[in-house]
Structure 1
């Protein structure tokens, strides 16, 4: 089942103080840019995997355990967070 990047919002809010779904990513694979909410998130998986909507490369991975959150952004060449 495929969801959009808004599915990442709740879990990412435990890692970041800001709402990251509105942050802009740049895909390291195809250089496509868009907001995190536009990522394609496939479930079920061990954690959440956000894929580029243009080329389907993995942009980010987020795995939560009871005591830690593991976030990798190796598929993003940049993540732009708006400052208030």
Structure 2
């Protein structure tokens, strides 16, 4: 399956975060890689999006929109660092 880079997640994530999340750094909970979200591999379909670590391929974040609500799962990140 083809993927987009993490920059493509900017539109959906901007609905939640007041800063550009694609430039935020995060640490993959699986392999420990630290990089900006823009480097992640983004997979999308009608249900939402899945961001995978560019190094190990593990899921770092998922987002779905349901009934005018955004459900965000970041359990694949040990931490997320945003510039304010």
Matches within 5 A, 1:18-57: 18-44=19-45, 46-57=47-58
User: What residue is the counterpart of 1:6 in the other structure?
Assistant: 7
TM-score norm. by structure 1 comes to: 0.93
Larger strand share, 1 or 2 = 2
Unmatched tracts of structure 2, length 5 or more: none
Unmatched tracts of structure 1, length 5 or more: none
User: What residue is the counterpart of 1:61 in the other structure?
Assistant: 62
Q: Which whole-Å CA distance do the structure 2 matches of 1:68 and 1:42 have between them?
A: 20
Query: Cα RMSD (Å) of the superposition?
Result: 1.1
| Poorly superposed stretches of 4+, deviation over 6 Å | none
TM-score norm. by structure 2 comes to: 0.93
Q: Which whole-Å CA distance do the structure 2 matches of 1:67 and 1:45 have between them?
A: 15
